[in-house]
Amino acid sequence: MKVLFILLIAFGLYIGESFQTPLDDYVRAPDSHFAWKVIRTYEQLEYTLYIVNFTSQQWLDETFSSRPIWWHYLCISVPAKITRPDSAFLLIDGGGNGDDIPKPEDNFVALTSMFAVSAGSIGIDLQQIPNQPIRFMAAVRAMDAVQEFATKLSLPVPKKFVVGGASKRGWTTWTTAAVDTERVVGAVPIVLDILNLQANLHHHYRSLAGWTFAFADYYQLNITKLTDSPNLKAMGAIVDPYSYLERYRNTKLLQIQSAGDEFFLPDNELLFWNDLQSATGGTNLLSNGPKPISAIGYKARTLNAKRRDFRLVIGDPNHPGKAIVNPVFWLTQAIGQQVVNSTKTVYTLTIANPLEGWEGFFIQVNFPGPQGTALELTTETLIIPDTYPTDDCSGDGCYGTLV
């Protein structure tokens, strides 16, 4: 697991968004189906957990979907001691409408409750994202519901939200932060780092000489064949977070990703990270913060020269839609350290080009956190040599194969 961090500091005044997209229009459109109701309450030692049945919207009608009215479980943890009354954390979670009513011991419900108690602010677990066919708008409506809920129960009403979610919910995290810049002050996208979609898809194809087996659902619908389609570019202008980089100017972003993820590559940030910094005011060096308590390097090598492949699981050649183990392990590596002055330390990690395949590496720096915890931040992942195992695809040739 590695974490990329960028602290975005705005200079001057930022007045609204400079442009509107169909995504803005859709999310802000009124929907009379919006509703919520508390269906269960759990009194716990340090917090109270409220389970809310929450209806976010109507998606088209019965001629298109067997369930056009979409509802979710909204699990709201209210700590006994609220020390940050203006803030809340919203986790965008998965699940299905056939699931049992959530309980306090459920994994992500318990996680958000822990956040609530430790942070002294309301914690929310929004479930059933996505619940097919497609789900839009629910995270923004969930913030609406939480504010109404807090008002009705005479609780402090959070005005600022930190949102987070993994994989497809990571995409939702990016776009929620883009369309609700007033309330979302922090975003924690997990795994999802395929911003600059069209360019990153080509990077993916060239790295793996095909498409990860995890793309099977999209591959079966011929979506990979549409990589160069003008419609994909037009869609990206609406839903790709890369189209909204300047809107993150006032947002603190903490990106969490897995170095061995089977969906996305460890160096996807190279196609958007610098642009993100430029769009949000550049790099700001903070010289009066806490000093690192330690730092360490990590490196891993591909198993062969066929693919620039750092996944822990890959497609089974005999069953392309299924996975087999690909034991690429990230090992610790000593780094160099040079203390320049009282506010500047330089860490270096030197890796030689491998004789075969590719080597990936990054540096992790650990900072002291509250109550003996540590904040672990990393650099971007670099991969050497800077080559690909195959030429790029174009047009229908991008259909490729699953690997």
- Nearest in space to 27 (alpha carbons), one of 229, 164, 182, 246: 182
CA distances from 198 to 55, 191, 272, 307 (A): 33, 18, 12, 20
Q: Which pLDDT does position 370 carry in this prediction?
A: 85
Q: Print burial letters for 330-351: b (CB count within 10 Å at least 16), e (below 16).
A: beebebeeeeeeeeeeebebee
Q: Which position has the token pair 């919203």?
A: 90
Instruction: Tell me how far apart the alpha carbons of residues 265 and 209 are, in angstroms, rounded to a whole number.
Output: 13
Q: Which pLDDT does position 227 carry in this prediction?
A: 97
Q: Which pLDDT does position 344 carry in this prediction?
A: 86
Q: Which pLDDT does position 11 carry in this prediction?
A: 25
Q: Which pLDDT does position 16 carry in this prediction?
A: 44
- Structure tokens belonging to residue 377: 């931040």
pTM of the model: 0.90
- Nearest in space to 78 (alpha carbons), one of 107, 38, 133: 38
Q: Which residues contact 392 (CB under 8 A, 6 or more apart)?
A: 202, 205, 206
Mean pLDDT by 10 residues, the chain (403 residues): 40 46 92 96 98 92 85 98 98 92 98 97 95 69 98 98 95 96 97 96 98 95 96 95 96 94 96 91 72 95 97 92 93 94 90 96 94 92 97 97 96
Domains and CATH numbers, the chain: 2-197+238-279 (3.40.50.1820)
DSSP codes, 132-159? SS---SHHHHHHHHHHHHHHHTT-----
